[in-house]
Chain A
């Protein structure tokens, strides 16, 4: 069964924004293609993420959410590609940052942990 995206609370977004740079996306940006391992996890602050399969749009989300974190950390391919649409605001979480975030003293550990436990 397809796992639904979990929406982040305002407190979680504030905590992430305090610890990581928020990036304004000026142009549509493919983060990962179908069946690839993402090179970074992504937190959508505002804007839109489009999910694609075989270059066709299969869905989208405009809610604040985290995608790709589990796949980055566990080296897992994604079943659908995702693309950040222009004029979105995101936080990029590379593997280094995610590994640091799995330290229990990290302020964002409780947020990240939810996405790593499957």
Chain B
């Protein structure tokens, strides 16, 4: 007789706020049976570009960068993901190799369900399918906006866009300022914005001089959001 312990006892944010949040308790029990939750350290990869898709990852805590390597081997950061976001859904049905890599930029925990299980769930549970479609739509819209920004906006405007996005996603209000609860290196910021490190350093200095932001160590604090919003506007 083969005895099996099937359940992970840890709870995941995907059950309460993510793609599984509309499931009934019976279906949620099934997810718990098939789920694996792991703790990852900064720098560890969930998956790499060119590797086969194993299944769906749901971020419970911590943040990751989603990257793609260029022909010259240089890494481009496509987006930052955090708690409640999912990864691996883009090629789960097509069974294509991963088009991107996902790497922890801080310690965190991630839940995983295998491809066969999530495919069955997509077939049988419309709420999961709809929630995945919503995620895909949001990601497509963000990607289109980013593409448009690359053509129409200056580096300074794109950096302002990034800071506003970080404020919206990871901002914590502290009296007269907002702390960005994410530590990105200048190199990572440059990769997201699509420019050189030196250019990012120059514009961050400009924003500081204009009273838009301040820094304590590697942590950025936004002081004047309205001025930052003005910086994102394309002049006509």
Contact = CB atoms under 8 A, between A and B. Distances in A.
Interface stretch (B35-43, B153-161, B188-196): B35-43
Contacts of A10: none
A117 B2 contact: yes
B34 A95 contact: yes
A23 B52 contact: yes
A26 B50 contact: yes
Interface residues of A, number: 28
B114 interface: yes
A32 B110 CA distance: 13
A64 B38 CA distance: 27
Nearest to B35: A95
Contacts of B221: none
A102 B2 contact: yes
A29 to B, nearest CB: 5
Contacts of B7: 75
B51 A73 contact: no
| A-B complex: 7 closest residue pairs judged by Cβ atoms | A94-B114, A96-B116, A36-B38, A27-B50, A96-B117, A39-B112, A29-B51
Interface of B: 2, 4-8, 34, 36-41, 44-45, 48-52, 54-55, 97, 112-117, 120
26 contacts: A25-B51, A25-B52, A26-B50, A29-B51, A33-B40, A37-B8, A37-B38, A38-B36, A39-B38, A39-B54, A39-B55, A40-B114, A74-B4, A74-B5, A75-B7, A92-B52, A94-B54, A94-B116, A95-B34, A95-B113, A95-B117, A96-B34, A96-B116, A96-B117, A96-B120, A116-B4
